[in-house]
Amino acid sequence: MSRYQSYMICTAPRSGSTLLCSLLAATGVAGRPDSHFHRPSLADWQEAHGITPDAAAPERDILQAVVRAAIAEGSGDTGMFGLRMQRHSFDYFMASLAVLHPGLPDDVARIRAAFGHTLFIHLTRRDKVEQAVSLTRASQTGLWHVAPDGAELERLAPHREPAYDAEAIRAGVAEMTAADRDWEAWFAREGITPHRITYDALSADPAGTLGALLDRLVPGRDAARDVGPGTRKLADATSADWVARFRAENGLT
């Protein structure tokens, strides 16, 4: 029997969250995790979940409808809700839950009121230069994820050739470092001991990493055995060259 009704993957871009979400969804027992509250906008949430805007409706009623729709989408028929939360979306998300569930003492209480007993997962990437290079290349080329056979899974802009950009990489390092710092501060404030996963561990051993997580989410279920990665790394020799160049230029080891 599951110990949890939901889980929230606390992360930042280019940390392996799409891979982890695809693995969890493929088990058939852990919902359909995704960024169900991605953009910090109630109008965008309504559009993403197919809810017709009603200017006369109270904000709380709109939020109730959005959360119901998100839970249905993020649970499928598994009875468990999966949520990926990027740090840049988090403050608006929590402010909205405070409107939906006023009078509760803290963020964890509001999340549990909305989604049930929740496991918090911290997915992070230790090498912030590699993470920033990955973010810079994806932003430039428009290609964010590919399938194991190389087919495009997510393209957000037409292709353009990538070009080394030290300032963009530096900004990415700062952004990703701040995201980790902010998550850690929130965990400490809320008294949360998250289930921790690193990009390196997930990339090196997807099945083992998934199995350890499922042991917490749905004990006794061997759903990870036949699940394989649904995405492939985009990093290549160019990525490695950019990482080495940035480290050399900035005196990093």
Say if residues 197 and 121 touch (Cβ distance below 8 Å).
yes
In a domain, 225, yes or no: yes
User: Hey, what long-range contacts does 205-213 have (CB within 8 A, 24 or more apart)?
Assistant: 206/19, 206/23, 209/20, 210/20, 210/23, 210/24, 210/27, 213/24, 213/121
- Domain of residue 77: give its range: 9-249
**130 domain-assigned:** yes
Q: What is the pTM of this model?
A: 0.90
**57 Rama sector, left if φ>0, alpha if ψ -120 to 50, beta otherwise:** beta
Does residue 1 lie within any of the structural domains? Answer: no
The crossing angle, in degrees rounded to 10, of helices 107-115 and 87-100 is 80
> Which pLDDT score, from 0 to 100, does residue 218 have?
86
Does 224 score more than 60 pLDDT?
no
Domain count, the chain: 1
Are the C-beta atoms of residues 64 and 13 closer than 8 Å to each other? no
Look up residue 186 and give its amino acid. W
The whole-number average pLDDT for the span 149-163 is 75
Q: Is 2 domain-assigned?
A: no
Supply the pLDDT for residue 158. Answer: 78
Task: Say yes or no to pLDDT of 37 above 60.
Answer: yes
Q: Are 24 and 14 in contact (CB under 8 A)?
A: no
Computed over its alpha carbons, how large is the radius of gyration of the chain?
A: 19
**Least confident residue range of 20-24, 116-120, 172-176, 222-226:** 222-226
Whether 4 is covered by a domain: the verdict is no
Residue 220 inside a domain? The answer is yes
232 contacts 148 by C-beta, under 8 angstroms: yes
Query: The tokens 């960024």 sit on which residue?
Result: 35
Residue 19: pLDDT over 50: yes
CATH number of the domain enclosing 21: 3.40.50.300
Return the amino acid letter for 165.
D
For residue 199, being part of any structural domain is answered with yes
Report the pLDDT averaged over residues 52-79.
94
Instruction: Judge whether 43 lies within some domain.
Output: yes
